[in-house]
Structure 1
């Protein structure tokens, strides 16, 4: 097969592992910087040019689209879909996953457990917002934040009100979520491929840090999911329309609560924590669909 990885950074661990796995299984694979692609739209003849050359005879693409270039990256994925290429992440699912509010609405409709979340249009009644989220402490998140950036724990009601007011004045959209104390600063990343959990790790924030992201100094260890947690992860990926997903969830007294569904989950943390060859699992997923 002829596979293209859509990535702006060919040096990433995830990109290199996918190249290694595809090459080992005798496929042709190449990294294309989607931000440098030109899209040509013509009647019944969609095509993509890269560095002046027309891209042809592509069997599959693996989108690794950064959050900052979602709009253009999605357009490139959509063009490959029009060229009848299989994509491990469909364009519509990519768009949904990057919109935190829309994602939560979709997950809620699917009947999945979620931390109680409040979103308003720059409401000045910030006291009521904090109360609706269950009172302090609360988590305040920028809608556009990634990798733990733009996520704040407000430990008192006064602090929460001040932070929300500050974001409102900056015209920065935020969501306010209840704080799940029993999670203890840890969350679970379940890696889903083609409707199956292929690996799971528990991420623990460093001391004094409520965010468990590995990019923020958190640590990861392998974990065996309960049946309820595994079902929730699979259902979340399906609800979002994602063939490959990193589902982040919290362990709470009322069962697993979905935090986020990531459409471009990194491989480094999960492979090192579990010792599993997830890159090859992704290549096999492509083989079954092409």
Structure 2
């Protein structure tokens, strides 16, 4: 098969591993920078112009679209879809996953466990907002934040009020979530491919850090999911329409609580923690559906 990987950097670990896995299984693979694609939209066959020529036959696409290029990257994915090309992440599911508020609404509709969350239109009644999630400590998240950036733990009522008022003053959209103390600064990343969990890791934040992101110094270790956690991860990926997803959740006294469903999950941490060939699982997913 002819496989295209949409990635801005061919030297990134995840991109390199996908190239290796595809070649090992006898496929022709090419890394395409989505920002260098020109989209030709016309009545007959919509096409993609790349590096001075029309892109040739493509059987499948693996989008590795960073958050900063979501709009244009999604347009490129849709252009491939318009030509009947199989993509591991559709344009629609990519856009859904990048909208934190919409994602939470979709997950809520699917009856999945979530930390209690409130979103308002810059409400001046900050005390009421805080009360809705059970008071401080609480988590405040910028809607556009990624990799733990734009996430604040407000430990007291005064701190929470000050941070929310500051964000409101800057007209920065935020969501306010309850703090799950029993999670102990750790979360779980379940990697779902084609409706199956192919690997899972527990990420523990470094001492004094409530965020467990590996980019923030967190440490990953292998974990065996409970039946409830595995079912929640699979259901979350399905609700978001994602064939490949990194489902982040907290362990709580009321069961797994979904934090986020990532449409371009990195492979380095999960492969190191589990020792599994996740890239191969993604290529085999393509083989089953292309």
Which stretches in structure 1 are left out of the alignment for 5+ residues? none
Which stretches in structure 2 are left out of the alignment for 5+ residues? none
> Can you list the C-alpha shifts for 1:85-140, whole angstroms capped at 9, x where unaligned?
10000000000000000000000000000000000011111111011011000000
Mapped partners of 2:239, 2:126: distance in 1 = 32
Note if 1:156 corresponds to 2:156.
yes
Mapped partners of 1:37, 1:268: distance in 2 = 27
Structure-to-structure mapping, 1:140-151, within 5 angstroms: 140-151=140-151
Aligned to 2:212: 212
Aligned to 1:234: 234
Aligned to 2:257: 257
Mapped partners of 2:3, 2:25: distance in 1 = 12
Cα drift, residue 44 of structure 1: 2.6
> Can you list the C-alpha shifts for 1:27-50, whole angstroms capped at 9, x where unaligned?
000100001100000003110011
> Can you list the C-alpha shifts for 1:222-252, whole angstroms capped at 9, x where unaligned?
0000000000000000000000000000000
Aligned to 1:275: 275
Structure-to-structure mapping, 1:60-209, within 5 angstroms: 60-209=60-209
Mapped partners of 1:169, 1:51: distance in 2 = 44
- State TM-score, norm by structure 1: 1.00
Aligned to 2:4: 4
Aligned to 1:266: 266
- State TM-score, norm by structure 2: 1.00
Aligned residue pair count: 290
Aligned to 1:33: 33
Secondary structure class of the residue paired with 2:79? helix
After superposition, the CA RMSD in angstroms is: 0.4
Mapped partners of 1:256, 1:281: distance in 2 = 25
Cα drift, residue 56 of structure 1: 1.9
Secondary structure class of the residue paired with 1:18? helix
